[in-house]
Amino acid sequence: MSELNTNANATVKAAWARGALARVLWDEAQIQQRVRELGAEIARDYQALLGEALLEEPPLIVGIFRGAIVFLADLMRAMPIPVEVDYVQLYSYGKGAEAGEIQLLRDLGTPAQGRHVLLVEDIVDTGQTLEFLREHLEARGAASLRVCALIDKRPRRRVPVQLDYVGFVLEEDAFVVGYGLDYAERYRNLPFVAALKPEAVRRA
């Protein structure tokens, strides 16, 4: 964990000036290094799984809009293999911090039948969203399903889920923002992941 870099951009400075961010959990360099490692690991695994078929039937990467868009963009560029990309959009969080009923707002445009799917999540919290998507994709006939999560947040887990690839583990019940993660649609463009102060969560 680190303090704010004094050379941070204006957006970051503004967020800290409001006193919203408690601390940086993972900085930009740490995130980019971990994403490169994940991309290489995932590529090796799919090369081993698919062999020569990789060129004709590349894995289908499914991102969860909007939180995973930054992570997904960096991750797929770190994978030196052919891939196809699609996304789904869910509604689970409102303007507050508590999870709500999960609704599918946008389904895949690419058929999942017979495809090897890599589901990319920004953060796995209660596990309910991931379980919903796993059941949804398996019902559509995916040949295999693996999950890559930037952050495995464990304190509030309600549903046991299998994560095949994890960027970072969060063992505290902090509300995190940055690198695509938001609170009330704010802070997605921060280049690092930070914890919000509890009072900022209540008033944002």
Active site residue 125: yes
Q: Are 170 and 149 in contact (CB under 8 A)?
A: no
Kindly give, in sequence order, each residue whose CB lies less than 8 Å from that of residue 66, ignoring residues fewer than 6 positions away: 89, 180, 182, 188
Burial class (CB in 10 A: 0-12, 13-18, 19+), 34: middle
Dist. CA 202–CA 199, nearest whole Å: 5
Task: Please report where in the chains the tokens 């799917």 appear, as a residue.
Answer: 117
From the list 128, 138, 140, the residue with the least C-alpha distance to 91 is 128
Q: Helix axis angle, 69-77 relative to 28-50, nearest 10°?
A: 60
* 27, 74, 122, 125: the active-site residue: 125
**Number of other CB atoms surrounding residue 76 within 10 Å:** 19
Q: Which two tokens stand for residue 202?
A: 């209540």
Which active-site residues does the annotation give? 125
